[in-house]
């Protein structure tokens, strides 16, 4: 839904955004929309559009995005119009809400992580980068944990139970999963202020907990009970 909503919003504003050349920013959403449509056709009509379309004609991921670098700047470009700035702000908020609600972000946009490392031999480099004194400074956008990890443990369980099939999970299920997989140490899932008493949880944590079936949680309960019994015997 977030994918379609974003594309509709872009279409409605396209007249004002056309001059900003936001194509490379929108491309991940368009790419994912095509894949979502393919999955929809498979699920509902058992038809694979890949059988009817030469996929080579769809240059999905053929060009590495560069505009998202500008998109991730802490401050928008001074040359960007107010309409463009508003659209980018709305896009950020939409993505934050979708992630916080536990949406499968792979269904929203196809995002590629590019990792660079320095090597000694220029001949072995995939690309050569130089720094220009006239270039702008790229600023890393800090994540606000109030947006990225908005849920208390009880709110997390409420959303997990709405999302998954099976029995209702409770705080003990959450506890045994945290102990087994060290969820509180995973910053993508959990966050705690250094002066706080409890963790808060992200939308990604909702998706992660919801993907496990009852059998896995029952297994973790058994393992945790045995662990506690053995620990008490040692005392």
Stronger pLDDT, 127 or 227, i.e. the higher one: 227
- Phi, psi at residue 109, to the nearest 5°? -155, 145
Element (H, E) at 185: none
The residue among 222, 232, 230 whose CA lies nearest residue 180 is 222
Distance CA 60, CA 110 (A): 10
Stronger pLDDT, 101 or 171, i.e. the higher one: 171
Global pTM value: 0.46
pLDDT band at 166 (very low <50, low <70, confident <90, very high): very high
CB 202 within 8 A of CB 100: yes
pLDDT band at 72 (very low <50, low <70, confident <90, very high): very low
C-alpha distances in angstroms, 101 versus 35, 64, 108, 133, 159? Answer: 22, 29, 13, 42, 8
């Amino acid at each position: 839904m977030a994918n379609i909503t974003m594309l509709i919003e872009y279409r409605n504003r396209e007249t004002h955004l056309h001059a900003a050349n936001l194509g490379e920013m929108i491309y991940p959403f368009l790419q994912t929309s095509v894949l979502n449509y393919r999955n929809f056709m498979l699920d509902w009509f058992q038809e694979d559009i890949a059988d009817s379309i030469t996929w080579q004609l769809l240059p999905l991921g053929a060009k590495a995005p560069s505009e998202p670098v500008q998109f991730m700047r802490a401050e928008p470009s001074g040359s960007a119009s107010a309409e463009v700035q508003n659209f980018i702000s709305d896009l950020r908020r939409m993505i934050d809400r979708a992630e916080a609600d536990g949406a499968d972000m792979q269904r929203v946009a196809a995002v590629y992580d590019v990792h660079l490392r320095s090597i000694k031999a220029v001949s072995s480099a995939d690309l050569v980068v130089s720094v220009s004194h006239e270039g702008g400074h790229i600023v890393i956008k800090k994540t606000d944990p109030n947006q990225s990890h908005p849920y208390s443990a009880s709110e997390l369980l409420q959303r997990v139970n709405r999302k998954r099939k099976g029995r209702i999970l409770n705080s003990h299920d959450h506890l045994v999963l945290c102990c087994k997989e060290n969820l509180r140490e995973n910053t993508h899932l959990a966050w705690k202020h250094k002066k706080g008493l409890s963790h808060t949880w992200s939308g990604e944590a909702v998706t992660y907990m919801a993907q496990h079936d009852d059998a896995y949680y029952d297994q973790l309960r058994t393992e945790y009970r045995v662990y506690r019994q053995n620990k008490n015997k040692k005392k």
